[in-house]
Homo-oligomer: A and B are copies of this chain.
Amino acid sequence: MFNEKFVEMTQHGSAIRAMFMYGLERAKVVGPENVFDFSLGNPSVPAPECFNQSIQNILEEMDPVAVHGYSPANGLDVARLAIVEDLNRRFGTNYGINNIFMAVSAAGALAHALRAVILEEGDEIITFAPYFPEYMQYVTGAGGKLVAVPANTETLQINFEAFEQMLNPKVRAVLINTPNNPSGVVYSTETITRLAEVLEQKQKEYGHSIYIISDEPYRELVFSGVDAPFVAKFYANTMICYSYSKSMSVPGERIGYVVINTEAEDYPYAVATFAQISRGIGHNCPPSLMQLAIARCAGAVSDLSVYETNKNILYKELTRMGFDIIEPGGTFYMFPKALEADAKAFCEKAKEFDLLLVPSDSFGCPGFFRIAYCCTTEKVLRALPKFEAVAEYYKNR
């Protein structure tokens, strides 16, 4: 008698998780060191020293009733203040405490931002392929319709021609993810500038606002020398959805936020509105201990250098082997073209070499695969002969 819509969903698992589960089983047979699982985007480096130390200090120093007590619906002021000060210092923004709402990681942040802008069933949220597959659930769950602009497969920047054709008065927001999961590509200043220009013009034309919802869990994972503009500075109606999952390697702790620009149309009542949205979805702030820890080390990041090291090796070696790849500017993902048109068939073939890769179909961009290189460099180096063997197989078949 349970709602059939949800029960039915249990039959369609995620391609990423299916590959990961296969890897666990396979490891029992051939040993974990012989399974080259690049399926999951699970950070592989420890949290910054400051994070665990802060938790220990909080538990020793503070009144336990206060530490574990209810947080106000908007989040703890001490955390909100520390975060906006960190943002202002790093990005020259003018955020105050009323710009920020603490959320249960990026998924929680997006749950609020999307419900704020979706007015009625069928309102559209545009995103750009390749995109994080959960966006479909996030938008549908909020009562909207996700529309994906086909990829610009030459650059994996925005396909503006297709985008402009798909814009229409039902579009309430554009959901971007830069640095991008699954491609690792960072939108350039040119891309963001043009996106802002297009949206400014369409806002005037339609007579209502169109938000940019900028999903930025990988913001701090940008490689050296890469042009990585701070999106909110380019467009007034911007909301940033952030998570510390990747920058601090704490994905299980569910700590993030929504920040809205002071210049945004709905700024005056935005945070209060987010707090109302919380009530209907069972969201009541991130854990207070985590908020208190963030308050003490908002600017800290893990040592993320292994991701760039891994990227450099994989990009150089796979390119040499004949893979066609747009060099990632950040994240811990890479998105090469599959060596046959059917990415699923390609990933099944790679599996025969114990190389676990995710086909790109669920990212809305067929013909590619994702490598999640959040692992040791040693594992990356040991996997190179496997990639070579797959490439050889396709050359010779």
Contacts and interface: CB of A to CB of B under 8 A. Distances in A.
A338 to B, nearest CB: 26
A273 B46 contact: no
A68 B254 CA distance: 9
B284 A287 contact: no
Interface string A236-249: 00000000000001
Interface in A244-298: 249-255, 265-266, 269-270, 272-273, 275-277, 279-291
Nearest to A137: B279
Nearest to A45: B65
A3 B282 contact: no
A71 B10 contact: no
Contacts of A55: 55, 59, 289
A143 to B, nearest CB: 9
A260 B347 CA distance: 38
Given A141-B281, A252-B289, A254-B284, A64 B46 contact: yes
A69 B118 CA distance: 32
A134 B279 contact: yes
Contact of A140 (B3, B59, B110, B280): B280
B56 A116 contact: no
Nearest to A52: B59
Interface stretch (A26-34, A100-108, A156-164, A362-370): A100-108
Contacts of A119: 1, 3-4
A209 interface: yes
Q: Which 7 A-B pairs have the closest CB atoms?
A: A141-B280, A111-B282, A252-B288, A137-B279, A9-B276, A68-B250, A10-B272
Interface of A: 1-4, 6-7, 9-10, 40, 42-47, 52, 55-56, 59, 64-65, 67-71, 103-105, 107-112, 115-119, 134, 137-138, 140-142, 208-209, 249-255, 265-266, 269-270, 272-273, 275-277, 279-291
